[in-house]
Amino acid sequence: MRFFWTIIAAYFLGTSAQAAIAPEVEKEIMRFIQKSPSVNGLRVQADLVDPNINVPVCLGGSIEIATAPGSRVWGRTTLQLRCAKAAWMVNIPFNVHVFGDYVVAARYLPAGLKLDSTDIRVIEGDLSLLPDDVLRTPKVAYERVLSRHLQMGSPIGLNDLKESSVVKVGDPVRLVLSGKDFEVSGEGVAQTAGMIGDMIRVRLADGQVLQGKVLRPSVVVVTVE
């Protein structure tokens, strides 16, 4: 009878061991995550969504790890573990936390402000919890203008910024008149400042003032119906 209970205990211990992820498999999973281009050498932490998930033993072979085509190893991520030798495959959901530097507002920042080094600071945090466009380096923000108000500590994203004026008052510009089946150009002087996409006024040599859209630095387009 004692021998019988020893066999039963060994059986349940064995099945319990199969339910956990073996340490060597955990190491392979972390190596796979850290080599992902989306992580790019940043510090990561991977947490199982379901700690009770069953990962069978890959007897006589090695486990292959993959993700769905086009997906990135970031935030809620599903990794596919496959054992060709034992003919099994299991999908395991993880929460992948990625830690790195990002840019935040150093104080309350009003919309329309042209940013400089006193307006922003860099902190470290979990990038997987932030919008994809969050700035990772402050130099991207310099000389750009905020498109909305930001509270102190708010992450600054690329979509929160717009270019500062590319045409200033008094700048010489090329004025392009574009209509159906024709396009002509001439020279003028900007009467108002503007960024790309803004409507500004341009004075021609004869004194006429036209309004057009800034296409790029020094070029303004007037659409003629």
Which helix (H) or strand (E) segment holds residue 13: the answer is: helix 2-19
CB atoms within 10 A of CB 209: 11
Same structural domain for residues 80 and 144? no
Q: What is the CATH number of the domain that holds 219?
A: 2.30.30.760
Q: Nearest to residue 140, comparing CAs of 123, 168, 120? A: 120
Same structural domain for residues 86 and 113? no
Same structural domain for residues 144 and 209? no
Secondary structure E strands in the chain = 43-48, 64-66, 75-83, 88-105, 120-126, 144-146, 161-163, 172-179, 182-190, 199-204, 209-216, 219-223
Backbone angles phi, psi at 215, to 5 degrees: -85, -45
Q: What is the CATH number of the domain that holds 146?
A: 3.90.1210.10
Same structural domain for residues 30 and 69? yes
Kindly state the percentage of the chain with pLDDT values over 90: 62
**Domain residue limits at 210:** 172-223
Kindly state the percentage of the chain with pLDDT values over 70: 91
Same structural domain for residues 189 and 159? no
What tens digit of pLDDT does each residue of 85-104 get?
899 999 999 999 999 999 99
* Domain edge (last residue) among 42, 64, 98: 98
Q: State the total domains in the chain.
A: 3
Same structural domain for residues 32 and 61? yes
Of the listed ranges 9-18, 81-90, 193-202, 216-225, the one predicted with least confidence = 9-18
Same structural domain for residues 18 and 92? yes
Task: State residue 20's pLDDT score.
Answer: 62
How many whole angstroms from its chain centre is CA 118? 24
- 158-184: average pLDDT: 89
What tens digit of pLDDT does each residue of 58-68 get?
988 899 999 98
For residue 22, the 8-state DSSP code is P
Same structural domain for residues 93 and 108? no
Query: Taking 50 as the threshold, does the pLDDT of residue 16 lie above it?
Result: no
Q: Write the single-letter amino acid at 89.
A: M
Same structural domain for residues 7 and 73? yes
Same structural domain for residues 111 and 149? yes
Same structural domain for residues 205 and 121? no
Give the separation between CA 93 and CA 50, rounded to whole angstroms: 7
